[in-house]
Amino acid sequence: MTLWISGYILLLVKFGLVLGCLLFLAAYLVWAERKLLARLQIRYGPNRAGKFGLLQPIADAVKMITKEDIIPAEADQSIFLLAPTVVAATALLMFAVVPFGESLAIMGQRIPLVITDLNVGLLFIFALSSLGVYGVALGGWASNSKYSLLGGIRGAAQMISYELALGLSLVPVVMLAGSFSLVDIVNAQSGYPYILVQPVSFAVFFISAMAESKRIPFDLPEAENELGAGYHTEYSGMRFGLFFIGEYVHIQVLGALTAVFFLGGWHGPFLPPFVWLLVKMIFIALVMIWIRGTLPRLRYDQLMALGWKVLVPVSLVNIIVTGAVILMVG
Amino acid sequence: MTIHSIIFYLLSSVVIVSTGIAVTRRDLVHAVVYLIFTFFGTAMIFYLLGAPLLAALEVIIYAGAIMVLFLFIIMMIRTEPSTAPLIPPGQWWPVIGFCLLYITAGFLFMYQEPDFWVFLTPAMATPGAFGRFLFQTHWLSIEIISLLLLIAVIGALVLGKPAGKKPNKTNGNRI
């Protein structure tokens, strides 16, 4: 019984720590994005709230929470209210299987530094990311506005298409590690990170991950200059904030997943494991911001052609080649 | 009553109730949302019974891919709410008949099967063991099903091709 209770307390502590870190980082990622993007466009970015605008996330949070939560008169109320939570919750839950260090030993007990080590961890992430589509599609539909509906439909089409490439790009990683568990995948990379043996997989994964998080150059579901704000046009206050949090948590999760699958996870010299994972995550997030500041938006047919005609075939060939090499080497 | 069976009955009631609500909704999008709950509940039952791989695949394929396609079509058509009764009076008899049939079959199965009252021991099938079993004992059916899917893909490709002219590169399929 005491083992149960201590297990529960431990789980709650881990939940609290991970959630706190994720939300804090999400807030400051917004700040970093605004700052970096401004510099890339030769502007200053936020610089009024605190030194270097460092208090800007707090000001934004206060604004979001105190703003009126408007529901359009013709909207489908229950679905309209629920859609943002689906986006935020699926993004946050994905972090549950990401390992952030080797197991700790406290008072003779081994404490794994991961919320839960599922033996189908990788599929768990896919399941959540495929459920995340509903937040976008239903949010767009429930608003009962043409812009939102178009954004929602675009979002659903885009996310289904790129999920395929995302899944196929990770098959070689699973073949190399021999496991769906993220802990095992990280442990298998103690010698060398998989980016060295699977550069094609890495490229396909990174492109489709960016498309999944709906960022420039793949931000067609919310293309400002055609659709207002796309699927979240009608949202205000904290419900809009939840979509926003979902997006930035998603960036971190994708950073963490890229680190776990290709960059060796928490492995690294000198620094403690947790810091290594954080460094890799933030590095990838910054690269994503850099790409956002550099590339123009794709046209819709280009987006679909890239997904179906380039990324899917390339990853299929990559799977066959990897399989052949593994068979030959033994 | 172990904690396993309590969770099992909770999940199955979620599945049954949400399926019931799904088939009686007027609003098709609401029906789809309830059906997603059904699939989600089914996945949880798979997980509870020690098949995490099946649970994940259930969510990815049924809840995550097939239902999104349903939603996709429904979102694009505007259906007018009708006031006609959901089940016309003449159709009540088959409904009641089939319900009774299933309930009797269920109860018969419960009392005829000697192992019915034995509690299942908690088990866990790893993805590797599951795959090995599937491809060693059922490889032929898997090949047949994949051939069927291949034919469906080719069929979709043929049907989707614009008749008579070559597909235009830039204006191919823009939404």
Question: Above 90 in pLDDT, residue B17?
Answer: yes
Question: Above 60 in pLDDT, residue B168?
Answer: no
Establish if A120 touches chain B: CB-CB under 8 angstroms: yes
Question: Above 60 in pLDDT, residue B169?
Answer: no
The angle, 0 to 180 degrees and rounded to 10, between the axes of the packed helices A146-177 and A237-262 is 20
Q: Which two tokens stand for residue A35?
A: 């700052």
Helical ranges in chain B per DSSP H: 3-24, 28-48, 52-57, 67-76, 92-112, 127-137, 139-160
Q: Given an 8 Å threshold on Cβ–Cβ distance, is A301 in contact with B65?
A: no
CB atoms within 10 A of CB A30: 20
The predicted complex's ipTM stands at 0.80
User: Whole domain around residue A94: which residue ranges?
Assistant: 2-103+110-329
Establish if B76 touches chain A: CB-CB under 8 angstroms: yes
Q: Given an 8 Å threshold on Cβ–Cβ distance, is A134 in contact with B71?
A: yes
Q: Given an 8 Å threshold on Cβ–Cβ distance, is B68 in contact with A134?
A: yes
Contacting B residues, span 85-144, partner chain A, CB-CB under 8 Å? 126-127
- Calculate how close chain A gets to B92, using CA atoms only, in Å: 31
Establish if B160 touches chain A: CB-CB under 8 angstroms: no
> From the CA atom positions of chain A, what is the Rg in Å?
20
State in Å, rounded, how far the first CA of chain A is from the last one: 47
Task: Say what the pLDDT of residue B113 is.
Answer: 77
Average pLDDT over residues B60-77: 84
Amino acid at A310: V
Please give the helix or strand (H or E) that residue A329 lies within, else none: helix A312-329
Q: How many domains does chain A have?
A: 1
Average pLDDT over residues B88-113: 86
Establish if B81 touches chain A: CB-CB under 8 angstroms: no
Please give the residue that has the higher pLDDT: either A229 or B100: B100
Residue A133 and residue A155 in contact, taking contact as beta carbons nearer than 8 Å: yes
Across the A:B interface, residue pairs with CB atoms under 8 Å apart total 82
Q: What is the pLDDT of residues A235-293, one digit of tens each?
A: 887 888 888 888 888 888 888 888 888 888 777 788 777 888 888 888 998 898 888 88
The SS3 of residue B171 is coil
- Name the CATH code of domain B1-80 (choices 1.20.120.1200, 3.30.365.10, 3.40.50.1110, 1.10.3720.10): 1.20.120.1200
Amino acid at B165: K
Task: Say what the pLDDT of residue B171 is.
Answer: 52
Q: Which two tokens stand for residue B43?
A: 């996945």
Establish if A156 touches chain B: CB-CB under 8 angstroms: yes
- Calculate how close chain B gets to A78, using CA atoms only, in Å: 10
Please give the residue that has the higher pLDDT: either B30 or A116: B30
Please give the helix or strand (H or E) that residue A106 lies within, else none: strand A104-106
Task: Say what the pLDDT of residue A302 is.
Answer: 85
Whole-structure pTM value: 0.84
- Calculate how close chain B gets to A281, using CA atoms only, in Å: 26
Q: What is the pLDDT of residues B129-162, one digit of tens each?
A: 888 888 899 889 999 999 999 999 899 889 888 7
Q: Which residues of chain A register pLDDT less than 50?
A: none
Residue ranges of domains in chain B: 1-80, 125-160
Nearest residue of chain B to residue A143 (CA atoms): B75
- Going by pLDDT thresholds of 50, 70 and 90, the confidence category of residue B165 is low
For residue A217, whether the previous peptide bond is cis, meaning omega lies within 30 degrees of 0, is yes
- Calculate how close chain B gets to A166, using CA atoms only, in Å: 13
Average pLDDT of the residues of chain B: 83
Contacting A residues, span 34-73, partner chain B, CB-CB under 8 Å? none
Establish if A118 touches chain B: CB-CB under 8 angstroms: yes
Nearest CA-CA partner of A212 in A303, A123, A142:
A303
Please list every residue in chain B whose beta carbon sits closer than 8 Å to the beta carbon of residue A154: 175
Nearest-by-Cβ selection for B52 from A79, A119, A153:
A119
Q: Name, in order, each residue with C-beta under 8 angstroms of A177's C-beta and a sequence gap of 6 or more.
A: A184, A185, A188, A189
Average pLDDT over residues B9-27: 88
- Calculate how close chain B gets to A120, using CA atoms only, in Å: 6
Average pLDDT over residues B24-39: 86
Task: Report CA torsion sign: B77, B60, A201, A172.
Answer: negative
